[in-house]
Amino acid sequence: MAPRKWQTSEEVYRLFHSIGRASLLYDIQDSHSGNMAMRWRNEAGEEMVVITATGSQKGDLEPNHLCYLSPAETDFGYYKASSETDIHVRILSIPGVQASMHAHVKELVMATLDDQPSPKTPPPFVPVDPLAFYHLGPEIPVDWFAVPSGSPEMVRTIPARLAEHPLTIIYGHGAMTRGQTLKEAFFHLCLANNAGYIVRLLERQWMALERGKENKEGQKIQVAEKVKNNLAQLRARIKADPDSHFHFRPAAYNVDIESRCDFPEEEEILKEFRKTGNRLFESRLSPFHTGSMSVRGVDYLLYAPQASMPYEVGGPLLKLPLALEADDDFELALHKKIYAESDFQTIIHAYVPEAEAHAHFVYPGEERPIERIIPVDAEGSFLYLAIPVVGPKVRDEEFIRLLHDYKVVVVRGGGVWAVGSQSLSEALHHPSSLREICLYRIAAVERGLDLRRMEPEKARRW
């Protein structure tokens, strides 16, 4: 059967182009990797599958890089469409699914590698952060394939996995996911990569500490095995009682508000929201469409419930009553409680992965995770003597008091909260600086340096 003629849609092209560019910026693709697909109805009402062409550059898509195919008559061998078209079409046949994506999610791939002989039967990946744990599930499937690209075995396995899970991992290759929209599918991939990064940061810290024990104590210990056991124990504790390890359960991804803007006439504040949201995303301060930010009004607040938003993609911007309401989710309610007990004008909540991983750090010789992050770099020390780290079940009163005193607080299992007296830019400075502070501290641990000796004496008394 001859393939249908190529068609174009400016709206669809802009969507694919923006998500493709964002995936490259977030470093979950290389220049030509991955593919995207979605169901779409053309002007005649015909349902089609739109999919990226094989070998296309997802960060620099052109209109002719999109293939518009009939889901019922698609020639899966058609040379221009992705080699994984048949997998995507079967995923898109799952009830409620309108979009699918494949990306290399390098951090997650690295976190799931092993040295076992092939054929492999890898265990599921267990996230230790709240975003992936609650949005993707406590166990994410990992499957090994002899031919991990477009093989019949993948066609059978991956759609079946995605009928039960939002995302599934292809060992050594990446992940595939589905969503009600292409943005939701991209959201899943970003959470997955972030989850892998956090696990790898934890492993790097533990590896350095265990090697330090071997050097100082002269004991022959199996460092890799010890780190593996530490991770297994943390995962077991989280799976046994997730609510005690995480600050709160994030609200479900809301596709109905993806493009909503309640204050289009407020050009200056819109610019500030979009600039801040783009920086949260591009600087890796929070995965795509996670976190939140707000600006206080007289009796209302301007609120971004999916704060990390690249310019080209955007995110919802809401105008809501400042007073608490019965149907407010935990995150929105906490914004309102902070405003009710303070004079702050802006709030940002971000899921900084380096802060989440370092919040689990335990100084050698101690048993409990750190309660403060003390900068060891010049600029961090100039800005902060110390940044408090609290447990996931911190009381609201204590949490808000710490925000008054420090302007930024890390919640283990709950992200980073920062406040400003004037602007979103002022609040943004805190998670941005904190990320660098944590990177330097983690690097010091990896190099076998003693953080206690590096920390300013006055910070210990602060």
Architecture per CATH, 10-194: 3-Layer(aba) Sandwich (3.40)
Q: Is the pLDDT of residue 337 over 70?
A: yes
Architecture per CATH, 262-460: 3-Layer(aba) Sandwich (3.40)
pLDDT of residue 215: 58
Buried/exposed code over 73-100 (b: 16+ C-beta within 10 A; e: otherwise): ebebebebbbebbbbbbbbbeeeebbbb
Specify the domain boundaries for CATH 3.40.225.10 within the chain.
10-194, 262-460
**What does the block give as tokens for 288?**
């795509």
Cβ 187 vs Cβ 288: under 8 Å: yes
Output the CA torsion sign for 120, 123, 129, 133.
Answer: positive
Where is pLDDT greater, at 97 or 152?
97
Rg from Cα positions in the chain: 23
- Compute, in degrees rounded to 10, the torsion defined by CA atoms 365, 368, 371, 374: 30
Proportion of the chain above pLDDT 70, given as a percent: 94
Token pair 């709206």: residue: 11
Rounded CA separation 49/173 (Å): 24
Rounded CA separation 357/353 (Å): 6
| Burial label, 236 (beta-carbon count in 10 A; 0-12, 13-18, 19+) | exposed
pLDDT band at 4 (very low <50, low <70, confident <90, very high): very low
Which residues have CB under 8 Å from 310's CB, separation 6+?
18, 21, 22, 25, 277, 278, 281, 282, 288
Tell me how far CA of residue 365 lies from CA of 180, 227, 339, in angstroms: 49, 17, 40
pLDDT of residue 133: 98
- Per-residue pLDDT tens for 64-76? 899 888 777 655 4
pLDDT of residue 213: 75
Output the CA torsion sign for 326, 332, 333, 339.
Answer: negative
**What does the block give as tokens for 360?**
């689990």
- Per-residue pLDDT tens for 99-109? 999 999 999 99
- 387-390/408-411 β-pairing: parallel
- Per-residue pLDDT tens for 306-324? 999 999 999 999 999 999 9
Cβ 392 vs Cβ 321: under 8 Å: no
pTM assigned to the model? 0.94
